[in-house]
Structure formats: C-alpha cells, structure tokens
Amino acid sequence: MAKFIDHTKMKDKSTFSMRIAAAMGIFLIIPQFALASFRDVGSLHPYYDAISSLEEKGIVKGVGENFFRPDEPVSKAAFFKIAFQHAGYLPTNGIYETPFTDVPADSWFAPYVKTALSLNLIKFNPDSPDFKGDQPITRLDALKLILPLEGIPAPLNDSSPLIFQDVITDSLSIHYIKAAQNAGIFLPEEQPYFFPNRVLTRAEAAYLVHQAEIYRNSLSYPTELPDFETFELDNSYLNGSSIIDNDKFPIFLNIWTKLNAESIYKDQFDPDDLIYGAISGMVQSIPDEQALFQDPESALEFEQSLTGNYEGIGTIIDIFEDQFLIVTILDGAPADKAGLKAGDIILKIDGEEVSSYSIDDLLDAIKGPSGTSLTMTVDRDGRQMTFTVTREEIALDTVFFQSSLDVPADIGYIAIYQFTETTALDFEQLLEETMASNPHGLIIDLRDNPGGYVDAAISILDLFIPKGEVIVSFNISGEKTYTTSTGAGNIPEDFPIMILVNENTASASEIVAGAMQVHDVATLIGTQTFGKGTVQEVNFYNDGSLFKFTIAEWLTPDEQSINHTGLIPDIVVEETKSDAIGETDSQLEKAIQEIQKR
C-alpha cells in the first residue's frame, strides 16, 4: 500500500530517499509569527517581552509546531548565535576555519566561534581542543559574552556592594557578576541568588540579552560596541589546513578564472552554478552513497520532506503494470475537488503522454506552486477523461487513523507516514485516544515510511520499550553510544502489537520496527524492509543550499546492522495485484487475524 503523496513507489535504493523528498512537492514554511503564536509562551509569561523583542528582530524562532520551548537549556552554539546577532553581527556565506576539532568550518555556528576567537572573547586550549557547542551554557559564561558584545564594561576594581549571597567575593569572575548586577542583567525573581553555574534556559537567554539592550539604551552616553565591519578574522591558527594551501587549489582557481573570463559561453552560465557544480563533484567523489549536495532550488524539496505541508494535488500514486495508477485521493484535496478517483490510470499531463516518463518526469509535471493548474487525462474503466486540477497548499498529517480496510472497532490502527518534527507528539496523542477505548490489540503501519528525524522515532519507542532498555546504538568512528528508553508509556506487556512493513520501510521507521521486534514487543508483518542503517547530518547554508553526509551507523538493540539488508518480518506476506490497486490489503488483513487469534 503506497503512501507517497503525488508520488510513486521507489525500488532504486540509491535514490529512494531523495525521490521521496522530491515527490512530495513540499516547501518549508518558516513564517514570521507574532509572538502570540508561540504555543508555550503566553502574554503572561515573565519573559514575554524579551522573547517578543528577539523574535521581532528575527533572532529567535519557534520550533516544530511553533513552540518556543522556553524552559529548555540553550546550547553554547545557539547562545553564541543569539548574542552575536543581537550585537549586530550577521556573518556572510563562507568557510570559517577554527582550531576547534568539533567546529566544522562550514557549520552554521562556525562564524560566531571564529569571531569570538578574533575578539579574544574565548580562548583555544590545545589540551582541550573541543568547543562543545552542543552542551548547555551557564549563566556566568553567557555573561562573559553578553557584556563585551553589548559594550557594557566590567571593571576589575569595582567596589560596589554585591547583592548576591551565592557568589564568593574573591572569585575571579566577581567583576562580571557585579557588572551584570549594576546593569540589571540578572533574574530579579531569584534574588538574593545569582546561580552563576546554573544552566541557562532559552527564555532566560532571551531575557538577559534583552536586559542588556534596555540598559545600553538607558545610558546618556554611547557604549562601545565591536566594529564587525572593520575587524579582521584571525587565521594564524590554521597551520596550512585550509583548502587554499592544497597544492591542487591553483588548478581549480585557474579553471574558474578562465571559464569566467575567456569562455565563449560565459554569458550563458551563472558563476554560482560553477561553484555548486564543483561542490557536487567533490561530494560525489567520496564513497558515501548517502552524501549529497543540493543547490538552493533543489534543497528546498529536501527541506519540504520534513514538514507537514506541501503544494500539490493530493494523490497517492503507485506503479501497476508499468502504468501510473492513482491509488488514493486525499479528502478535500484538489484532485478530489476536480473529480479524479482512485483507480484512475494517468495517461497525459498537460496534453503530453506519460507512457515514456520516468518517475522524476511525472513528478516534475505534477508539482508546481499553489494556485497554478494542470490538466490530467486518465483512463477510467476504458474511457478517457480529462480534468483540470488547481494545485493547493495541503496540510498533511504524518500520523493518521485512516486505513485501506475497515479495521474492527476493538483493534487500534495508527499509520505513520514519515517522522517529522511533530510526529512523536501526534502519535502519542493518537495512541492515548486509541488506548482509552481498551482495544484488543494495536496495528502500527510503517509501510512506505522513508524515515526522517531519529529523535521522533526514539520518542515513540519510549512509549513501548521498558525503561532502561537499549532502543538503538550508534557506531561513530568506531565508538558506540547507546540510547535507552525513558519508559514513558504504560502499554501492558501482553498487549498484542502488529507492525506492518514493506520494501519501502526505511531508516527511522526501521529503528522503530527493529527495536520493537528485538524486544519482542511487536510482531513484524509484511516484506523485508529497505535496509538503511546509517545516520546522516544535514547542513543548511545561508543561501539555501544543503550538504548531507553519513556520520554514523545505527544498530538494533542486539547490536545488529541492517544496512543494505533490512529487517526480516516475523510473518512474511507479499503484496498481491489486488493489493496494488487498492482493492485488498493482504498484510493488514493478516495483522487483524493475528490479533484476533490472541
């Protein structure tokens, strides 16, 4: 049973995940919300004004379904970005190499780290070469960045009395805390304590930076801010590690120069495309089948695959006997409004025959901006019919109840289409609703699920795997790390759970299926899964381009790799022809039977 929106099933493993992203025609929506839309920051929140101010400046944004998550710790890297942007530093695109071993030169936070080094706001210690940007930042360390960036002096000889009882007066950092005290950059509700070593939350970070601005604006004299336009970045620590020092770089530079200056076609290409092409060639030269570089236009489609909105016509398409078959029409979608029906065979798009189309050709023909139209000619029971369909923005839930068959009322059914930012929360809510009716069993449908966010998969497993048990492990450069369950759920041990899988069940969906199979929590039904046992890091750049590459291999709880092999179902049920056209669903029928036998 396919679940790809305006898409077809993929058999080519090397392009499977990318074609899924391309197929959906989704676009990333990052609106500039008014603060009232932060679902977890109401107008009565103590730091409402501070968060609102930073949001209006574009310095902070919501997460997922527009949550701010005010009580979450802010990471060191994230705080550097907030503090520098608030001080007026907006880095340009480029490579920012630093001596820190855990700061990639092309990472989003590298410019802030490099600038902090150049301004002597932080120091590099060769004996401890990590920046540790993913770790939370303390209040004291945050002050050491805020004060100089905001031009607020912290004199060593400040003799003013200290109001905080938890700060040692002969501390080496006392002058920072006194400067914060004098400027009002502290949390007033916690007086007479400062808690200098307490981890800073996202809301507190916004408040402290905002307070620094209020203090600075209240002064009758101008404060001295860093001049980001004229200062020079310090490169003395690179020691020949730059690409410029590679003895092949002059060849690249020479070809670049000749093409732009001497080619008779120089007016017919964009220099940016030369750079993008060179980067793509570099990425393609490494033995990482998942590595990918995409220019801004192509990258948009990848970003879209991890959201719940897309622009299209709302069809689920499969390939049946070398023809493009509409399996399902989403209720209320443009295709539904136009009169298309499940079972229609697509013959033409905008008057052009699709019989010779590749999958990508078909998708490119169907995709398009909201408000634009296409004509689709279909074969319906031997009659040719043509429909005009206007594309729309469609909100698509990644977790839903709908199934191809009528599932008995005493059996719960939840399908997960993809693991996005909101999937875990949506699944938990549906699971709670399902379990409230005391079902006899539960079916989780992971067929045609290409994966997505690993964190979402882990959060779902927390609901089923006993506390403390290994959910998944990661092999990173020969070192293994283990993720264990928090045991957040309360599913009875003998509660029958069936998980439906097929050849397109991949990545994060295999993490869920594999962990529940190994822990004997669920029975897998269907066909062998895709076999994507690696984890990729995705880097997005200021121009909208992205780079994706493999950083780890993940293993099932019994430390087995499924990469290129997949998971073998406990009960193998092959898809039939009638299944392919949506008339039956043999795998779902088998799952129902297995639960009814318990």
Which are the catalytic amino acids?
A: 507, 532, 536
Looking up tokens 């400027």 gives 183
Is 539 within 8 Å of 107 (Cβ atoms)? yes
Alpha carbon distance 398, 110 (integer Å): 34
Is residue 415 a contact partner of residue 450, using CB atoms and an 8 Å limit?
Answer: no
Give the CA angle between residues 192, 195, 201 to the nearest 5°. 120
DSSP classification of residue 576: P
Neighbouring residues of 338: CB distance < 8 A, sequence distance ≥ 6:
313, 376, 387, 388, 389, 390
Please, where are the H alpha helices in 239-388?
249-262, 271-284, 296-304, 334-338, 359-366
- Using CA of residue 263, residue 280, residue 20, residue 336, what is the dihedral sign? negative
Q: Is the separation of the CB atoms in 26 and 304 below 8 Å?
A: yes
Asked if 314 contacts 5 with a C-beta cutoff of 8 angstroms, the reply is yes
Q: What distance in Å separates the CA atoms of residue 589 and residue 593, rounded to the nearest whole number? A: 6
The CA distance from 564 to 560, in Å, is 12
User: Could you tell me the CA-to-CA distances from 222 to 118, 245, 410 in Å, in that order?
Assistant: 23, 43, 71
Distances (CA, A) of 79 to 137, 397, 537: 8, 32, 21
